[in-house]
Amino acid sequence: MTGFEFFIGLADCHGLSSFLPDPQINQTKLTNMIIFGEEEAQEKDKQRNSMLQGMQMSAYYNAQRRTVVYQAKVLPEVAEEIQELMKEGENLEALIVLKSQASEIGLLQGVPNAKKYWEQIPNPDLDPFA
């Protein structure tokens, strides 16, 4: 059986906005330290945290679109399907596939109503500016 991969990103009423590999989870810290050295591993952690903070701010400021920050555990073939859908501009369908095929989904704490929003999306009719 193929191993799982982890992704992080933003999702909203229009589908997936981003679907990025989560290097902190896909490689253990020990592996990062062996490959990159302790300082470089710490720098990767800082970059990831900075990226998540940016996503959290985006979710907060785009609450009208029911934006959430997620982490997903998926099989490689599911990840490929989602990436292909996003490449084709099928972000709504990509979120549907993610929600139905992910073996685990986590939502970033600190985003108000994240669980409620996750249950409501995708649904473009929720966008007050559409």
What H or E segment, with its residue span, contains residue 17? none
Q: How far apart are CA 48 and CA 29, in angstroms?
A: 13
Alpha helices in 62-123, H assignment, sequence order = 76-87, 91-101, 114-120
User: pTM score, two decimals?
Assistant: 0.84
Q: For residue range 39-81, list pLDDT tens digits in order.
A: 766 777 788 888 899 999 999 999 999 999 999 999 999 999 9
